[in-house]
Structures are given as structure tokens and as C-alpha cells.
């Protein structure tokens, strides 16, 4: 049974485009067409506004929290072609870096697994993907993949870090060598997989073709210890595909159609601990899917927007206003 | 797309209400966020006031319920105990032990109910009262179901005693039965009844019981026909009831609180030696007759019916849907699994039913700031996905205090979850560095066995020393022990501190030897050599000769090595010139000191002892 345990009044003055919990579920970041990014402390069912960050000059599309080992760091991307990285220093949130390397709206930002360092991937409507790497002392190194997708890139998602076998006996002080990969989805109806080469350059490793319209979102599933890799993709064509790759062979990705919806599917997202896929439909629902024993994907729940009351939780004083 | 039997549950989110807007969502570590949005990104807003609310939704919110805390804690103890004695459960005592475990679980439920009852009385608050009473009735239903499952599945009461157990069951859960039994049993032939029921079935076979009952039944019938009770309609009705006359029984419907009470009473008087496999027929008909088509069945009725039909999977399934948390089904299923009653059911979501339910229950516990510790044990007893589930959950526990962090780490270390240990220690180490608590940072990086980070922190220590002329966290550095070997820089830090200690204890010869070895063994970073050589100066200035001639030659070599490696980079500025001046002076002083020492040491070594 699912219950609403907290309703946060963000007081955004315009449409909210993204909301993200931090690593521990104690803070909530939101961004909006009102150009602001807000951060709330939501522990114990409360809501305390910690920061109201201004700096973007257009609607802010996405926010992403970095791993807590780097401190409290949040990235945001906007229609104003900028990516801003915010950091909490001595209790206050400030802009710590601004990236202006794109010619068009930046649609998606995603932090790499913490094992790789502090690296941010950004996808833009100018078709390029930029990768910002923190090199220390306030400096960020930029690498750009131009023309990653024709017309535009809509989403980026990193592959989970694979612990290399040689990590156990590393000579002291040496950095282990990870194979860094991420996936991107674009207006060319394609999903592309990118890999970092030894010389530090990013190369297109794979093209995944199955959609017949713009790919709106890609999400690489977290690792649950199995040898397969899984990516979910959704598109303007109403379809959601689950792509799997048996890591033994390494390079063959096979798509399975999860479902064909009646409308554009905008967003897919994997749960962090249970490998449940949440899919937003254009039909104003969020559906939850899980894989059954025989490899079929089954819908386990519908979360539907609606009017009126909902099964409330035990805590009193829920505001179920319209 | 495969279909589950049943439509997926729909949860409505309040407030997100518009034809044009959609629902945006994302996952938190243990919850989901939803809010209203419009996905088609337009630069200009529609100027329609949007809904500024973000809803945080969760499953398993009962974990926050204080009153149930005791239930979770105590059942955890029973659960772990059961897993541990599994190997010892053999032979005849096995069943008795499992029944005992079942009774333990039930007593925990009852204790919880009792506590709630007391709290309700003490509270005297109408709102709280209704909350308590609804919780109590849920717990009561759970105990009812569990008890029935215990009788039918675990105790596996054979025909004969089965009805006794069912009688007890009804008596325990339905208060009114006492009055009815008293009524009925207090009839004209108490002695016959006593005789009949005194026998627990141990010393009699089923057939003997049947015969006795038949005999008594015939006698009753004769009495009825003979009109023995003609004068008293009440007694006549009683007699009919005793003969199992359904119509007569139904006339006393108000005294029967529900259909299963009716069922047991009916069986008592018509089929007291009912066999388990026949039970379901009577159950279904009792339900139908009692309700008489007036009302629909409730979830509880369906669960009990499924139990009477011995359909364990159906019982579990219905309970999962009807109850708001996984506590009940997880523990009951685990117990039934130990009774070897669950076939490997082809569950949709991989692994077996027991593990699936335990994983769901344990995941829910991790939402709570202290109950997560119970969850760890549940994951431990899930052989397939327990470990990986624990790894994922444990990293997300907020490390609000050092104490909590240590608890989490201990859990990970006990299970050799090295990746998680490393990650958690790194988070704590970096937080410490940011707050300038270098000692803390160093101990976390040692615990994480993170060489790279230990090097970083050691560098900070050394830098601090150069700036301030003293060490912080001496205690820690002095007691590094074998951890010193983690990284070269850390070893140097430890040894350098040791040099200072030796100097402080006036063990100059030892200190001198150590200082030299730090340079010659290449453990000291090049950038630090000047500092080390400067440290050598006071040793060179001592009255007695400390460095031997050979050692002095080594030091000289080091100095030359260092100075020859220096290059001038472009045009030196004023600061650089000033620095260079200081450097030059130092080098000069060193050269003089070394030369003097060389002379003295040669003389000393060349002379005879005592001269």
C-alpha cells in the first residue's frame, strides 16, 4: 500500500520541471520555469527551505545531486544554454561554476559514478554533449562531443561503475583504471553508447536503433550484482524499450518492447534498490514495472493523478488540497 | 505484456488536477517524488499558475508507527532464533518446536494489542482512540488468522482433536462463545458430556470416539422423539441444537458472532470427528448459510476460507493485499517454509516466495533511522538477493552521527562488504578534510584502506607542519602501528614524527640515523628534503659528534643532489628573490655545518678511545 508521507510546498511561481532527492533522502532539490532552483530539508516529514538559488535566465529543466563524498553539490541545466554547479560552503549555497559551452538549451545533466571522480555529462539541443571534470582547486576541465545527435540531445545517463578485478591489489597511490561509459538519447531517434578511450577522448561505441521518433529519455539501470547491463529508453513514438547486454559477449544489445503507450512517453527512471522501472505516460499516469522470472516485464502499479482524497498515511494533518 | 491475476493497484495523487498537465516523478533512495509538470518544454510559460506541490510517497509507512515498534523488535528476535535452530530441528520434536515458535509470534501480537489497549485507555483522546481501536482490530484479525494457520498447517491436528483445537480457537477469539457453550452444555445430561469430552483423544482411536458419539447422538434423538422435553420449548430447542439441527442453530444467530463461530458450533454437534480434508465443504456452506446472501464477504472471510481449503498460497496472497505492511506475511511465510509447506512457487518476481516477502519487509525497515538494524538480519537470511540488497540499502543510511557511522561500518566489515566500507569511509574522510579535522580524516582513510586518500591527508599534515611548525593529532600519528604501511606518504609522516620524538628524548644518534634513512630510502618526498636537512642542523651543532663521517658524506650528497636540481624559471620576482635569499642562506649554513661535522667526525673516528 502506497501513501503520501509528505507534501512539500515549493512556492515555485511557475511550472516545476524536475525534483530530485539527495543520496540519503534528506534533501530535496527542485527547479522550475520561474528560473530558480530550490533546496529543502525534508527530514522527518518536514519541509524547511534551505536555499533559493538564482542564476539561470530561463526555465531550468533538470537538477542532479553529486555523490556525498564530494560534499553537497548540485548541478542544474537550463533553456538559457547554461549549466550551473552549486556548492554548499560553510552552511551557505553558492554558485561554484558556470559552464556556457553550448549554443542551445541544455536539456539533461547526469553525474558519473563517484568512483570515476566528479564528472558531469550534459546533453544539449545543439546536438552536443559536454563532460565537465573537476580537477581540483575550483577548476573544471571540459571535453565536448560535437554532433553527438543531429538536431539535439535530450538525455544522458551513466553506466554503473564496474569494479575492475585488479582493484584489490593496487599499488598505493595509483588510481584504478575504470572503463567509463554513458548512454545518450536524441532527436535522431537513436540511443548512443559512449566510451572513454585510453587517450581520454570519448568515442561512440554503439548505436541502438529501434525508435521511430525522438528519444526523450534514457536510463541505465543500477547494478544489482548480475552480469547483464540494462538500459531503458522512451520516445515520442509512445514506446518504451528495455535493452539488455550480456556482458560476457560485451557488445550485443537486444531490445525488448516493454509497452506501447497511446501518447508520448517523456520520462523513465529506475528505482535505486529494487530494479523497478517507473514510466511516465502521456496519459497522466506513472506506471511501475518489474521483470518477472521468465524475463517478461509486468506492470505492478499505477500512480495516477486525480482529484480528491487518497489513502492517507497514519500521520495526521495531510493537506489534500486541489 | 504479461498479466498478473488482478489489475495493478492505482494510487491517486491529490492536487495534480488538470487536463493539460502531466505528472513528473523521480525515485529517492526509499521513496518516490511526484509533482505536476508539463513535459513539452516551452520557453514561455503558459502563465497558468502551476501546482507548486511535490508529493513524497512511500510504501510501508507502518514502520514509522511507534506502537508497532515492539512488534517489529520482538518478532525479529523470534525470527533470528528460528533461522538459527533450523539445523537442530529434527524428528518428533521438530513439530513441537515449530508450534512453540508459532505461539511465540502470537503472544507478541497479543502483547502489542494489550499495550495498545492500555495506551488507548490512558490517552482518553477520541481521535487517538479510533486510531488505536482500528490498529487493535487489525492485530486481532492477524492473530486470528495466524492461530488458524497454526492449527491447520503447523500443528496439523488430525481428525478428532482438530475440532478441539478449533473450539479453542473460536473460544479465544469470540467472547460470546463462552455464554453459548455454557448454555448448551449445561443441559440435562452433563455427565454424558463430561465423559465424552474428558478424553483428549490420546487414549482413544477415532473409531471409538465415533462410536461413542453415535451412541450419545442416538440417545438424544430418542429423548426428542419421546417428547422428554415437550414441556419446555427451550430445552427442546437445546436438544435440537445438540443434534446439529441447522435451523435450530440459526435461530440463535444473534448469539453467534460470525460464520466461523457458526461453523465450529455446527461441527461440534453434527460432525465432531470431522477430518481436515472435509473442512472446506462445511466452511463454504457455513459462510453461505450464515450470511444468507445479505452481505458480501470481507477480506478476512476470504482469508479464513482459503485456510480451511488448505490453500496456503492463497492465504498469503490475500493477506498481502489486505494488510498494509509486510510484517505478517513475511514472518508467517518464513515459518511455513520451515515447516516445508511451500513448494517452490513460480513467483513472478524471481527467487522464492519466502525470500520475496522477507526482502520487501526488510527494505521497509531501512526507511527507519534505527529499525534498519533489524533489517540487516533479515537480509542475511535471504540467500539469493539478500547480500546485494543489503549493499544497496546500507550505503543510503544517512550518517548523521559518528556513532551511527560506526554502526553501519561494523555491519559492512562483519560481512566483508569492502566496497561499501571504502565508500562510506571516503565520504566521512572527505567531510573531515573539509572541516579541517585532519586526524579524523586520517583514521577514516586508514579504515577504508584507501592509500590514495591517506597520501592526500598525510600531505596536508606535512603542509600544516611546515606552516605552523608543529603537528596536530599527535596521538593518532604516534600510534599508527602497522597502518603506517598503507601509503608511502603516510609511512613518511609516521617516521618523521618518530624522528621528532627521538630528538625530544635526546636520543640523538638514533634520531640522526632515522633522519638520514628517510632521505636515502627515498621515502621522503623531494619537496620535503630541505626541511629535513634543516632539521639536521641542530644535530650538527651539538657539542658531541652525532653524525659519523660516512653519514655526513651522505648528507652532503643529498644536499648537492637537491641544489643541483634547482633551475631558475624565467625572471625571478621580488618575492622569489627574497625566497631565494633565504634558501641560499640555508644552504650556506648547511654546508658550513656539514663541513665542520665532517672534520670533527674524522678526527673522532681516527682517534683512539678515551682521547
Q: What is the pLDDT of residues A231-282, one digit of tens each?
A: 999 999 999 999 998 866 568 899 999 989 888 898 999 988 767 899 987 6
Q: What percentage of chain B carries pLDDT values higher than 70?
A: 80
Lowest-confidence range among A5-19, A61-75, A201-215, B461-475? Answer: B461-475
Residue of B nearest to A167 (CA): B419
Shortest Cα distance, chain A CAs vs residue B387, angstroms: 10
- Say how far apart CA A160 and CA A181 lie, in whole Å: 8
Inspect the interface and report whether the beta carbons of B388 and A224 lie closer than 8 Å: yes
Q: What is the pLDDT of residues B529-582, one digit of tens each?
A: 888 888 888 888 888 888 888 888 888 888 888 888 655 555 556 666 667 777
Residue B420: alpha-carbon gap to chain centroid: 16
At B253 the pLDDT is: 67
Q: What is the pLDDT of residues B400-438, one digit of tens each?
A: 888 999 999 999 999 999 889 988 998 999 888 888 888
Out of A69, A290, A316, the one facing B426 most closely (by C-beta) is A69
The stretch A179-206 carries a mean pLDDT of 93
Q: Inter-chain contact B488–A23, Cβ cutoff 8 Å? A: no
Average pLDDT over residues A86-97: 92
Contact between B38 and B48 under an 8 Å Cβ cutoff? The reply is no
Alpha-carbon distance of A37 to A12, in angstroms, equals 9
What is the residue whose three cell numbers read 538459527?
Answer: B84
Say if the Cβ atoms of A173 and B423 lie within 8 Å. Answer: no
Query: Is it the case that residue B491 has pLDDT exceeding 80?
Result: yes
Block residue for cell numbers 456452506 = B285
What pLDDT score was predicted for residue B184? 47
pLDDT (0 to 100) of residue A191: 96
- Which pLDDT score is estimated for B409? 94
Is the Cβ of A272 closer than 8 Å to some Cβ of chain B? yes
In this complex, do A25 and B2 lie within 8 Å of one another by their Cβ atoms?
A: no
CA dihedral A15, A217, B2, B393 (to 10 degrees): -80
Which helix (H) or strand (E) segment holds residue A214: the answer is none
Contact predicate A94/A102, CB 8 Å: no
**CB atoms < 10 A from the CB of A280, how many?**
28
Contact A272 B14 (CB under 8 A): no
Residue B486 with chain A: CB contacts under 8 Å: 172
Report which of residues B527 and B232 the model is more confident about.
B527
What's the pLDDT score for residue B609?
64
Distance CA A140, CA A73 (A): 14
H helices present in B469-548, as ranges = 474-478, 488-504, 508-520, 529-540
Q: How high is the pLDDT of residue B194?
A: 41
Q: How far is A216 from chain B (nearest CA, A)?
A: 10
Of A183, A28, A275, A245, the residue nearest B56 (C-alpha): A28
Residue of B43, B9, B41, B3 lying closest to B22 (CA atoms): B41
Bridge partners of A287, per DSSP, are: A279, A302
Cβ contact B23–A306 (<8 Å): no
- Distance (Å, rounded) from C-alpha A218 to C-alpha A202? 19
Q: Which of A13, A58, A280 sits opposite B22 (nearest CB)?
A: A280
The span from the CA of B95 to the CA of B112, in Å, is: 26
Out of A14, A19, A297, name the one closest to residue B26 (CB). A19
User: Cβ(B273)–Cβ(B206) under 8 Å?
Assistant: yes
- Quick check: A304 pLDDT over 90? no
C-alpha distances out from residue B471 to B60, B360, B513, Å: 51, 51, 21
More confident residue, B342 or B560: B560
B26 → closest Cβ in A14, A20, A274: A20
Q: Does A133 score more than 90 pLDDT?
A: yes
Among A257-261, B123-127, B275-279, B585-589, the least confident range? B123-127
Which residues of chain A does B397 touch, with a Cβ-Cβ cutoff of 8 Å?
Answer: 24
Query: Residue ranges of the alpha helices (H) in chain A?
Result: none
Positive or negative, the CA dihedral B254, B255, B258, B260 is negative
Write down the pLDDT at residue B202: 45
Which range, B179-188, B215-224, B359-368, is most confident? B359-368
What strands, in cross-sheet order, belong to the sheet with A73-78? A60-65, A73-78, A83-89, A92-99
- Reading across the β-sheet that carries A139-145, which strands appear in turn? A106-111, A119-124, A129-136, A139-145
**In this model, does residue B19 exceed pLDDT 70?**
no
> What pTM was estimated for this model as a whole?
0.80
Q: How confident is the model at residue B288 (pLDDT cuts 50, 70, 90)?
A: confident
pLDDT at B128 (0 to 100): 67
- Please tell me the predicted confidence (pLDDT) of residue A249: 58
Structure-model confidence comparison of residues B585 and A158, the more confident one: A158
CA A50, A53, A56: angle at the middle one, nearest 5? 160
Residues from chain A contacting residue B391 (CB–CB below 8 Å): 225
DSSP string, B17-32: --SS-EEEEEE-SS-E
- Among A21, A79, A322, the residue with its CB nearest the CB of B33 is A21
Write down how long chain B is.
Answer: 611
Asked whether residue B51 carries a pLDDT value surpassing 80, the answer given is no
Please provide residue A286's backbone torsions phi and psi, each rounded to the nearest 5 degrees. Answer: -115, 120
User: Residue B487: pLDDT above 80?
Assistant: yes
Helices (H) and strands (E) counted in chain B, each on its own, are: 27, 4
Strand, helix or coil for residue A132:
strand
Cell (9 digits) for A110:
547526469
Average pLDDT over residues B187-208: 47
Residue written as cell 516545476?
A16
The average pLDDT across B86-101 equals 82
Closest Cα in chain A, distance from residue B215 (Å): 54
| Cell 508521507, located at residue | A5
What is the per-residue pLDDT for B229? 65
Is A79 in Cβ contact with B61 (below 8 Å)?
no
Flag the least confident range among A138-152, A206-220, B85-99. Answer: B85-99
> pLDDT exceeding 90 applies to what percent of chain A?
58
- Of the listed ranges A184-188, B412-416, B521-525, the least confidently predicted one is B521-525
B425/chain A closest Cα distance in angstroms:
9
**Mean pLDDT lowest for which of A70-79, A155-164, B246-255, B443-452?**
B246-255
Please give the residue of chain B at the shortest CA–CA distance from A14. Answer: B50
Consecutive H or E run containing B398? none
- At B297 the pLDDT is 80
**What's the pLDDT band for B142 if we cut at 50, 70, 90?**
very high
User: B587-611 pLDDT, tens per residue?
Assistant: 888 888 889 888 888 988 888 765 4
Judge: B393–A273 Cβ closer than 8 Å, yes or no.
yes
CB contact under 8 A, B350 and A292: yes
Is the CB of residue A178 less than 8 Å from the CB of residue A164?
yes
* Nearest residue to A5 via CA among B30, B396, B328, B375: B30
Query: Does residue A318 register a pLDDT over 50?
Result: no
State percent of chain B over pLDDT 90: 18
> Who wins on pLDDT, A80 or B289?
A80
Q: Which helix (H) or strand (E) holds B174?
A: none
Determine the distance in angstroms separating the CA of B125 from the nearest CA of chain A, rounded to an integer. 14
Q: Are B552 and B513 in contact (CB under 8 A)?
A: no
Average pLDDT, chain B: 80
Burial of B95 (0-12, 13-18, 19+ CB in 10 A): middle
* Integer Cα distance of A2 and B436 in angstroms: 43
Looking at residue A83, its pLDDT comes to 97
**Residue given cell 463430561 in the structure block:** B194
Give yes or no for a contact between B159 and B206, defined as CB atoms under 8 angstroms apart. yes
Closest CA to B327 of B3, B570, B501, B75: B75
What mean pLDDT do residues A194-219 have?
A: 93
Q: How far is CA B4 from the centre of its chain?
A: 29
Q: Do A306 and B14 touch (CB under 8 A)?
A: yes
**Using CB atoms, which residue from A2, A19, A316 is nearest to B57?**
A2
CA separation, residue A143 to residues A105, A176, A207, B222 (Å): 18, 21, 21, 102
Confidence class of residue B183 from pLDDT cuts 50, 70 and 90? very low
**Number of A–B residue contacts, CB under 8 Å:** 280
Residue A320's pLDDT band, with cuts at 50, 70 and 90, is: very low
ipTM reported for the complex, 2 dp: 0.80
Cβ contact B54–A28 (<8 Å):
yes
Kindly report the backbone phi and psi dihedral angles of residue A225, in degrees, each rounded to the nearest multiple of 5, phi listed first: 85, -5
Rounded average pLDDT over B211-216: 76
**B296 grid coordinates:** 458480501
CA atoms within 13 A on the CB side of A81: 8
Q: What is the separation, in whole angstroms, between the first and last Cα of chain B?
A: 101
Res. B191: pLDDT tops 50: no
Task: Choose the closest CB to A15 out of B3, B50, B385.
Answer: B50
- Decide if A111 contacts A75 (C-beta within 8 A): yes
3-state secondary structure of B246: helix
Per CB-CB distance under 8 Å, the chain A contacts of B128 are none
Question: CA of B487: which chain A residue's CA is closest?
Answer: A172
Q: Tell me, what's the pLDDT at A274?
A: 63
* A87 and B CB contact within 8 Å: no
Distance of CA B428 to the CA centre of its chain: 22
SS3 state at A243: strand
Please report, for residues A225, B65, B363, B383, B421, the alpha-carbon distance to residue B414 in angstroms, rounded to integers and kept in the order given.
20, 30, 20, 17, 10
| Cα-based distances in Å from B529 to A209, B104, B477, B590 | 60, 70, 20, 13
Residue B390 has pLDDT above 70, yes or no: yes
Chain B residues with CB inside 8 Å of A171's CB?
451
Q: Which of B41-55, B178-192, B370-384, B573-587 has the lowest mean pLDDT?
A: B178-192
Burial (CB < 10 A; 0-12, 13-18, 19+), residue B52, is buried
Q: Is the pLDDT of residue A155 over 80?
A: yes
Continuous segment of H or E residues that includes residue A201: none
Determine the pLDDT at residue A132.
96
pLDDT band at A307 (very low <50, low <70, confident <90, very high): very low
- Cα B553 to chain centroid distance, Å, stands at 64
Q: What is the rounded average pLDDT of the residues B69-73?
A: 91
| Per-residue cell: B337 | 517454509
Residue A314 has pLDDT above 70, yes or no: no
Cβ separation A71–B324 shorter than 8 A: no
- Cβ of A59 within 8 Å of Cβ of B487? The answer is no
- A293 at B interface, C-beta within 8 A: yes
Amino acid at each position: 500500500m502506497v501513501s503520501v508521507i509528505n507534501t512539500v510546498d515549493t512556492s515555485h511561481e511557475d511550472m516545476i520541471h524536475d525534483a530530485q532527492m539527495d543520496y540519503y533522502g534528506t534533501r530535496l532539490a527542485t527547479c522550475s520555469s520561474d528560473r530558480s532552483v530550490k533546496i529543502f530539508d525534508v527530514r522527518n516529514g518536514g519541509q524547511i527551505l534551505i536555499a533559493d538559488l538564482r542564476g539561470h535566465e530561463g526555465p531550468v529543466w533538470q537538477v542532479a545531486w553529486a555523490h556525498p563524498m564530494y560534499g553537497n553539490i548540485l548541478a542544474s541545466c537550463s533553456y538559457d544554454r547554461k549549466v550551473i554547479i552549486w556548492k554548499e560552503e560553510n552552511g551557505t549555497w553558492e554558485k561554484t561554476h558556470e559552464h556556457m559551452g553550448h549554443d542551445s538549451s541544455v536539456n539533461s545533466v547526469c553525474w558519473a559514478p563517484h568512483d570515476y571522480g566528479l564528472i558531469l555529462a550534459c546533453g544539449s539541443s545543439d546536438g552536443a554533449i559536454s563532460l565537465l571534470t573537476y580537477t581540483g582547486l575550483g577548476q573544471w576541465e571540459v571535453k565536448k562531443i560535437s554532433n553527438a545527435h543531429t538536431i539535439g540531445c535530450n538525455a544522458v545517463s551513466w553506466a554503473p561503475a564496474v569494479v575492475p578485478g585488479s582493484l584489490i591489489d593496487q599499488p598505493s597511490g595509483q588510481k584504478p583504471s575504470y572503463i567509463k561509459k554513458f548512454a545518450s538519447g536524441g532527436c535522431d531517434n537513436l540511443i548512443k553508447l559512449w566510451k572513454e578511450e585510453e587517450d581520454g577522448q570519448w568515442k561512440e561505441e554503439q548505436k541502438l536503433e529501434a525508435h521511430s521518433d525522438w528519444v526523450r529519455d534514457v536510463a541505465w539501470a543500477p547494478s544489482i550484482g548480475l552480469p547483464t547491463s540494462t538500459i531503458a529508453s522512451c520516445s515520442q513514438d509512445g514506446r518504451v524499450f528495455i535493452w539488455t547486454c550480456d556482458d560476457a559477449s560485451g557488445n550485443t544489445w537486444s531490445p525488448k518492447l516493454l509497452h506501447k503507450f497511446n501518447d508520448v512517453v517523456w520520462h523513465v527512471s529506475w528505482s535505486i534498490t529494487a530494479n523497478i522501472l517507473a514510466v511516465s505516460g502521456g496519459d497522466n499516469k506513472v506506471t511501475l514495472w518489474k521483470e518477472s522470472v521468465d524475463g517478461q516485464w509486468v506492470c505492478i502499479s499505477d500512480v495516477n493523478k486525480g482529484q480528491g482524497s487518497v489513502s492517507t498515511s497514519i500521520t495526521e494533518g495531510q493537506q489534500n488540497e486541489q | 505484456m504479461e498479466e498478473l491475476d488482478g489489475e495493478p493497484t492505482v494510487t491517486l495523487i491529490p492536487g495534480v488536477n488538470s487536463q493539460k498537465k502531466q505528472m513528473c516523478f523521480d525515485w529517492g533512495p526509499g521513496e518516490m517524488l511526484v509533482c505536476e509538470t508539463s513535459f513539452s518544454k516551452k520557453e514561455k510559460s503558459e502563465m497558468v499558475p502551476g501546482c507548486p506541490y511535490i508529493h513524497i510517497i512511500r510504501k510501508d509507512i507502518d514502520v514509522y508507527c511507534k506502537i508497532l515498534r515492539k512488534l517489529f523488535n520482538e518478532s525479529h528476535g523470534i525470527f533470528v532464533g528460528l533461522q538459527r535452530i533450523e539445523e537442530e530441528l529434527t524428528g518428533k520434536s521438530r513439530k513441537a518446536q515449530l508450534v512453540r515458535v508459532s505461539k511465540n509470534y502470537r503472544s507478541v501480537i497479543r502483547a502489542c494489542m494489550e499495550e495498545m489497549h492500555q495506551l488507548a485507555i490512558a490517552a482518553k483522546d477520541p481521535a487517538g482512540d479510533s486510531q488505536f481501536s482500528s490498529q487493535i482490530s487489525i492485530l486481532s484479525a492477524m492473530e486470528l488468522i495466524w492461530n488458524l494457520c497454526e492449527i491447520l498447517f503447523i500443528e496439523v491436528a488430525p481428525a478428532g482433536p482438530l475440532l478441539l483445537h478449533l473450539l479453542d480457537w473460536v473460544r479465544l477469539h469470540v467472547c460470546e462463545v463462552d455464554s453459548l457453550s455454557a448454555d448448551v452444555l449445561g443441559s440435562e445430561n452433563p455427565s454424558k458430556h463430561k465423559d465424552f469430552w474428558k478424553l483428549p483423544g490420546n487414549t482413544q482411536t477415532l473409531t471409538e470416539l465415533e462410536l461413542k458419539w453415535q451412541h450419545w447422538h442416538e440417545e438424544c434423538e430418542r429423548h426428542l422423539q419421546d417428547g422428554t422435553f415437550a414441556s419446555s420449548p427451550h430445552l427442546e430447542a437445546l436438544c435440537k441444537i445438540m443434534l446439529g439441527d441447522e435451523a435450530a442453530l440459526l435461530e440463535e444467530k444473534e448469539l453467534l458472532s460470525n460464520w466461523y463461530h457458526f461453523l465450529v458450533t455446527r461441527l461440534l454437534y453434527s460432525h465432531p470427528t470431522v477430518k481436515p480434508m472435509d473442512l472446506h465443504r462445511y466452511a463454504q456452506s457455513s459462510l453461505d448459510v450464515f450470511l444468507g446472501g445479505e452481505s458480501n464477504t470481507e477480506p478476512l472471510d476470504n482469508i479464513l476460507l482459503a485456510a480451511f481449503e488448505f490453500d496456503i498460497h492463497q492465504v498469503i496472497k490475500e493477506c498481502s493485499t489486505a494488510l498494509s505492511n509486510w510484517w505478517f506475511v513475511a514472518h508467517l511465510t518464513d515459518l511455513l517454509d520451515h515447516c516445508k509447506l511451500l513448494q517452490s512457487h513460480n513467483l513472478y518476481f524471481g527467487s522464492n516466495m519466502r525470500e520475496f516477502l522477507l526482502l520487501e519487509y526488510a527494505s521497509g525497515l531501512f526507511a527507519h533511522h534505527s529499525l534498519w538494524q533489524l533489517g540487516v538480519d533479515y537480509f542475511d537470511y535471504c540467500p539469493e538477493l539478500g547480500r546485494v540488497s543489503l549493499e544497496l540499502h546500507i550505503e543510503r543510511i544517512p550518517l548523521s552521527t559518528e556513532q551511527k557511522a560506526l554502526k553501519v561500518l561494523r555491519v559492512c566489515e562483519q560481512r566483508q562488504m569492502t566496497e561499501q566500507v571504502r565508500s562510506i569511509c571516503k565520504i566521512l574522510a572527505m567531510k573531515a578534510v573539509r572541516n579541517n579535522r585532519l586526524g579524523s580524516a586520517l583514521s577514516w582513510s586508514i579504515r577504508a584502506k584507501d592509500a590514495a586518500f591517506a597520501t592526500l591527508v598525510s600531505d596536508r599534515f606535512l603542509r600544516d607542519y611546515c606552516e605552523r611548525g608543529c603537528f596536530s593529532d599527535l596521538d593518532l600519528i604516534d600510534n599508527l602501528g602497522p597502518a603506517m604501511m598503507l601509503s608511502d606518504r603516510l609511512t613518511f609522516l609516521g617516521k618523521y614524527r618518530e624522528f621528532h620524538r627521538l630528538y625530544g628524548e635526546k636520543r640523538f644518534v638514533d634520531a640522526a640515523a632515522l633522519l638520514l634513512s628517510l632521505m636515502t630510502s627515498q621515502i621522503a618526498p623531494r619537496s620535503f628534503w630541505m626541511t629535513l636537512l634543516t632539521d639536521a642542523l641542530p644535530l650538527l651543532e651539538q657539542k658531541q659528534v652525532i653524525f659519523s663521517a660516512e653519514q655526513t658524506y651522505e648528507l652532503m650528497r643529498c644536499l648537492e643532489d637537491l641544489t643541483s636540481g634547482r633551475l631558475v624559471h624565467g625572471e625571478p620576482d621580488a618575492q622569489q628573490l627574497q625566497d631565494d635569499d633565504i634558501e641560499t642562506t640555508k644552504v650556506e649554513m648547511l654546508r658550513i655545518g656539514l663541513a665542520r661535522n665532517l672534520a670533527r667526525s674524522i678526527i673522532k673516528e681516527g682517534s683512539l678511545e678515551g682521547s
